[in-house]
Amino acid sequence: MSERTTDYEAVIVGAGFGGMGAAIELKRQGVDRLAILEREDDLGGTWHVNHYPGLAVDIASVTYSYSFEPNPSWSRLFAPGSELKQYAEHIADKYDLRRHMEFGVVVEEAAWDDDAEAWTVRTADGRSITARFLVTATGFLSQPYTPDFPGIDTFAGEIIHTTAWRDGYDFAGKKAAVIGTGATAVQLVPEIARTARNLTVFQRTPIWVVPKVDFPIPPPIRRLFAAVPFTQKAARAVNTSLLEMLMVFGVLHYRQAKPGNQLAALLSKAHLRTQVRDATTRKQLTPSYDFGCKRPTFSNRYFRVFNRPDVELETSSITRVEPDGIVVDDGRKIEIDTLVLATGFNLWDVNFPAFTITGRGGRDLGKWWREGRFQAYEGITVPSFPNFLTLNSPYSYSGLSYFTTIEGQMRHIARLFGEMRRRGSTRFEVTAEANEKFLDEVTRRLGDSVFYAGDCSASRSYYFNQHGEATLLRPQATLPSLREMETFPLDDYTYA
Ligand code: NAP
């Protein structure tokens, strides 16, 4: 597409499903001189980094995959994490992406050079790489968060963050603690409870958990999916529609469909009722915020763990960590020798964006977002940042499966690059007006969502940024949002 004046036509940062989707689309658009720079030592993003016991998708695999690359071999309805990693490898091979990838490359900053009409990407090992286009695909949940508990450095036992799992770590005979009760802990806690001598789960905020309808996919069904792909497509359509109802009626249209949301909460409460014997524990495990304020999760094993005599739910707040235990606010010390941090990720301080990005006129994207409002036109482009596509952006997350988001973005890229080709241009930039219009529209629509019309005050949800705004999800049903991504007005951009 462009003359060879830069090292690459495009640099993509991140080799997860987002980065690979962007690479597939850019190659379709004729952009073949591209580099995919990845911080980790292999591809797969989340599914490479996370390999704690119990890891599995919580969106059925027929939906949690590219629609154009169905995988008939999923072993279960909700595939285990290792199969997602294999699927990522299959994608890289099939779409010839590996030759573009470089691992162990930490990007520290990227700056737009208006004279050269190119991005300069600087890496931690001191390299400067130039490219006409920059794509960030660094994930939403890729900057692990470790709370700064007083005394944590003095702890004499093992500390393991779930994103740095020590494969094969043996919990047998261990006095273990897990801090955190998010989706990760919900998967991990039952696994640790199976082998540890005892386990204390530190909960600050309870999570809504609904039953998980999961089962192995029988080989004849897998063979049918392989032989008649339409059947898997139909299964995908049914599952995606169910998720869509949950998203649209449970979260986005809370104001109009409150009973739908309440029904989901009721289902979770009934699930808890059937799984946990002790009434006090049940009360402690019951959230006091509306369903959907933070990402609910699915499990048939999590609640039941709290019936075990060797598992304690601890709801007092943590005062400090000592070499042999955790002291809580009433002065008790819970003695432990293994501390698991299921404390999640830092999104809003360090992940949007994941490194310094400077656009036209020296505009610093992170500063601009934090000091003003988080925003991105159609969740992918930003005014004053020419030739820049930011995949993990405010208002970009569409539908409940990440693949809906990336496939919408691939459509956007196709339309934008198609127009540039038609005009013979090599530069695009979204107009400030189009961006403002989009921001106004999503802000208006979010007014109906559970985030604003419901009660989320006790949720401590990472959906909310430091200004108290829920700027992660795109408040639109999947089909109109996909349609918008391939029909947006072309003059919402300037071209040169
Ligand atoms: P998370 O949802 O952010 O949960 C972090 C947990 O750590 C929360 O319970 C939080 O409590 C607790 N925590 C943080 N700081 C604390 C402190 N100082 N003291 C006490 N507790 C503290 O992170 P996550 O569980 O890793 O999940 C993140 C997201 O990853 C999920 O929402 C989901 O989208 C995704 N995920 C998906 C899957 C899957 O698909 N299979 C599996 C795992 C994760 P508060 O709530 O009180 O802040």
Give Dmax (Cα) for the chain: 70
Q: Which residues line ligand 1 (CB under 6 A)?
A: 56-58, 141, 147, 179-185, 187, 202, 204-205, 295, 318, 342-344, 460, 462
Residue closest by Cα to atom 6 of ligand 1: 180
152-212+299-341 matches 8-142+347-495 in CATH topology: yes
Q: Determine the distance separating the centroid of ligand 1 and the alpha carbon of 77, expressed in angstroms.
A: 23
Atom of ligand 1 nearest to the CA of 343: 7
Q: Determine the distance separating the centroid of ligand 1 and the alpha carbon of 180, expressed in angstroms.
A: 6
Domain borders along the chain are 8-142+347-495, 152-212+299-341
Q: Please tell me the CATH code under which domain 8-142+347-495 is placed.
A: 3.50.50.60
Q: Among candidates 137, 189, 197, 140, which has minimal Cα distance to 162?
A: 189
Best residue for ligand 1 mutational test, from 74, 152, 184, 328 (most atoms within 8 Å of Cβ): 184
Encoded tokens for 83: 């199969």
Q: What is the pLDDT of residue 4?
A: 61
* Cα 55 from Cα 496, distance rounded (Å): 46
Say if CB 104 and CB 81 are below 8 A apart. Answer: no
Atom of ligand 1 nearest to the CA of 185: 25
Say if CB 482 and CB 489 are below 8 A apart. Answer: no
Say whether domain 152-212+299-341 belongs to CATH 3.50.50.60. Answer: yes
Q: Mean of the per-residue pLDDT values for the chain?
A: 96
Residue type, 260: G
Say if CB 251 and CB 473 are below 8 A apart. Answer: yes
Q: Determine the distance separating the centroid of ligand 1 and the alpha carbon of 179, expressed in angstroms.
A: 9
Q: Determine the distance separating the centroid of ligand 1 and the alpha carbon of 182, expressed in angstroms.
A: 4
Q: Among candidates 121, 11, 271, 387, which has minimal Cα distance to 263?
A: 271
Atom of ligand 1 nearest to the CA of 459: 46
Summarize pLDDT for 350-371 with one digit per residue, the tens: 999 999 999 999 999 999 999 9
Q: What is the pLDDT of residue 2?
A: 46
Which pTM does this prediction carry? 0.96
Summarize pLDDT for 265-287 with one digit per residue, the tens: 999 999 999 999 999 999 999 99
Encoded tokens for 200: 């204390």
What per-residue string of b and e applies to 159-186 under the rule 16 or more CB within 10 Å gives b? ebbbbebeeeeebeebbbbbbbbbbbbb
Summarize pLDDT for 465-493 with one digit per residue, the tens: 999 999 999 999 999 999 999 999 999 99
Say if CB 34 and CB 23 are below 8 A apart. Answer: yes
Summarize pLDDT for 150-206 with one digit per residue, the tens: 999 999 999 999 999 999 999 999 999 999 999 999 999 999 999 999 999 999 999
pLDDT band at 246 (very low <50, low <70, confident <90, very high): confident
